[in-house]
Amino acid sequence: QVQLEQSGAEVKKPGASVKVSCKASGYRFANYDINWVRQATGQGLEWMGWMDPNRGKTGYGQMFQGRLTLTTNASISTAYMELNSLRSEDTAVYYCVRGLRFLIGGDDAFHVWGQGTVVTISS
């Protein structure tokens, strides 16, 4: 079945960087967008950015411009989210999500979700 398996929990100090991986299985990786969405404890969802693995195109939310880098390694069907200059407000669960529609670059329907990665920023 279609699955996204994310890397484990991270604890980082303010100012550091974190890189979360998201390994896809059960479908052809290049055919669907990967988005990243985060959720602070008890809070709502916040879209961060997206990547089209087929064309290598990316889009970043304005709040994350300059701090967020999305990449993929198609040979191992894995997407990566790297966030720099971490601050306490970045403490959240980070989700990778596969788009719903086949070969639609910029798919805004988030269909298959990873299990989430808890990132804690603490000095």
Partner 1 sequence: QSALTQPPSVSGSPGQSVTISCIGTSSDVGHYNRVCWYRQPPGTAPKLIIFEVNNRPSGVPDRFSGSKSGNTAYLTISGLQTDDEADYYCASYAGDINFVVFGGGTRVTVL
CB 60 → partner 1: shortest distance, Å? Answer: 9
CB 79 → partner 1: shortest distance, Å? Answer: 16
CB 113 → partner 1: shortest distance, Å? Answer: 4
* Residue 62 or 75 having the CB closest to partner 1: 62
Identify whether the C-beta of residue 112 lies closer than 8 Å to the C-beta of residue 98. yes
What whole-number distance in Å separates Cα of residue 37 and Cα of residue 51? 12
From residue 33, alpha-carbon distances to 54, 70, 74 in Å are 8, 12, 12
Contact residues for partner 1, defined by CB under 8 A: 35, 44-47, 50, 59, 61-62, 95, 100, 106, 108-111, 113-116
Q: 18 forms bridges with which residues in the sheet?
A: 83
Q: What is the DSSP letter of 61?
A: -
* Residue 28 or 101 having the CB closest to partner 1: 101
* Residue 29 or 64 having the CB closest to partner 1: 64
CB 71 → partner 1: shortest distance, Å? Answer: 18
**SS3 (DSSP) at 88:** helix
Angle at 105 between CA 101 and CA 109, to 5 degrees: 45
* Residue 10 or 46 having the CB closest to partner 1: 46
